[in-house]
Amino acid sequence: MLSWALVFFILAIVAGYFGFFGLAGMAAGIAKILFLLFLALLVISFVVRAIRGQSVT
């Protein structure tokens, strides 16, 4: 449990650093782009598997 607490502490320090210097907005924009990219890849993967006749689940 202590190791998880340390990991989250370090993540909080990094997030605070980004928020303090205004990089949070840029990181949020990048996160939105990556989310849409991976969502599109997921849909494409489902379509390709359906066309090949493989199970989608």
Quote the mean pLDDT of the chain: 83
b/e per residue, 20-55, with b = 16+ CB within 10 A? eeeeeeeeeeeeeeeeeeeeeeeeeeeeeeeeeeee
**pLDDT (tens digit per residue) in 30-46:** 888 999 999 999 999 88
Select the more confidently predicted residue: 40 or 16. Answer: 40
The pLDDT of residue 57 is: 62
The angle that helices 2-20 and 24-52 make with each other, rounded to 10 degrees, is 120
How many C-alpha atoms does 15 have within 13 Å on its Cβ side? 7
Q: Where along the chain do its domains lie?
A: 25-57
Structure letter (DSSP) for residue 16: H
The pLDDT of residue 7 is: 87
